Amino acid sequence: MVGAGPGAPDLITVRGAQLLARADIVLYDALVTPEMLALCAGAELISVGKRSGQRSTAQAVINQQLVECARRAAVVVRLKGGDPMLFGRADEELRALEAEGIAVEIVPGITTAVAAAAATRQPLTKRGVARSVAFFTSSTAPDEPDHPALPETDTLVQYMGGREAAATAERLLAEGRRRDLPVVVVENCSRADQRILRMTLATLAHGLEMAHGPMLVMIGEALVRREHQAPD
């Protein structure tokens, strides 16, 4: 399992790129870019992408494909956007492989929240202001409530937040968070078409315009622009 990082092909780890170059088969997510797939030009490529609101490969099918590929090839890479161990359904895939006695190596990747903080030059923590960060997503398992409780922390980072960000903002306002709390939204983080939006919590509650790629929403006092900070 290899983390592809946030999108830019040169942000994958050296170890990850080496394994892609050696791979016989690569099963890749929808958010993996063509530029990233160019690193494994000699491999058989299998798309197993999942995109919100679109038809996608069922997780049980992906699990079975991983097992079947591992039985017929020496080096199989499951290439996941960001980091495999964060919102990547790694637990389900690991269970399927481990049940069949298949050896697995996990290569971490740069998760989008860290890349977004770098792209916006906004640390997610700040001495005396923010000492805790929570990563969360609105996606839930079938047996979970539609709207699980929001974490109580200084900086909130919502993955896959495009359509759900307004509801998050409304709930935070209802909980007493101030209306002018800073919000930074990053679309297509680290890619050539990256877009950065800055607003307040009250503005976010009105919703975001149509997105053309994955959106990450960062909320908290730590996101206040510095006095002499360069423009995005």
Q: Indicate which residues carry an active-site annotation.
A: 29, 50
Integer Cα distance of 121 and 216 in angstroms: 15
Integer Cα distance of 57 and 200 in angstroms: 36
Name the DSSP letter for residue 187: E
Contact present, 47 and 54 (Cβ < 8 Å): no
Centre a 10 Å sphere on the Cβ of residue 169 and count the other Cβ atoms it contains: 28
| Run of H or E including 27 | strand 25-28
CA triple 27-33-38, angle to 5 deg:
75
Crossing angle of helices 90-99 and 59-72, rounded to 10°: 40
At 125, the amino acid letter reads: T
Integer Cα distance of 136 and 149 in angstroms: 10
In three-state secondary structure terms, 156 is strand
